Amino acid sequence: MIKSKVLIIEDEFDIAQLVKLHLSDVCDKVEIANNGLKGLEMALNREWSLIILDLRLPGMDGIQVCQQIRAKGKYMPILMLTAKSTELDRVLGLEIGADDYLTKPFSVLELVARVKALLRRFDVATGYSSVTNNNLAFEDLQLFPDERKVLLKNQEVELTAKEFDLLYFFASNPNIAFKRSQLLDQVWGYGHDGYEHTVNSHMNRLRNKIEDDPDNIKFIKTIWGVGYKFIAKPI
């Protein structure tokens, strides 16, 4: 699943629904506007990772919608749909500020592939987190929260749910010293009537699993009088 919000501006109901159906498998939010004015309004007033824009639309045509979006300083990728290849050649498509185009009838698989490629290209160009996941990587340590998996020197480490939560919390907030009371709030939840020694015992077990030399801590360091800090540098 790609973390992305896609807007489809398309007046043909069947095409819009078909595209939405297929993109819903790979993007987490897909919405439809069925005319140009509504599409422009939605494009400008909300954040989108990508817009699929039909050329022939009631209200305002796709070229105007595209130009207006760019004129307002919005630079999300736009994939144009055209009815005939003669209707809009590739050069025109790119001159109005679209990033790619597809000619109808198109294969839905082709459209999904183009959408993924645009999202990736945009992601690389801007650092915008449309395709990124929540995985974290450090030297010798990788965390995969969706799978709740941890690799230490490429070997999987078995962690309990709480140990994983603790490690993930630290790794998401490197170089910040956290008090035990803050960790109770963050990892065990506000209002949890745990004790600070609960944190210590979980932390000790976690560190036994991920640190191989107690005299040379690589990941979670004790900050005396405060709590703990994650010290590995992200790669």
Residues binding Ca ion (CB under 5 A)? 11, 54, 56
Q: Which is nearer to Ca ion, 56 or 162 (CB)?
A: 56
Q: Which is nearer to Ca ion, 36 or 227 (CB)?
A: 36
Q: Report, in Å, the least distance between residue 166 CB and Ca ion.
A: 53
Q: Which is nearer to Ca ion, 57 or 187 (CB)?
A: 57
Q: Which is nearer to Ca ion, 84 or 233 (CB)?
A: 84
| Residues belonging to the chain | 235
Q: Report, in Å, the least distance between residue 41 CB and Ca ion.
A: 18
Nearest-CB residue to Ca ion? Answer: 56
Q: Report, in Å, the least distance between residue 109 CB and Ca ion.
A: 21
Q: Report, in Å, the least distance between residue 60 CB and Ca ion.
A: 12
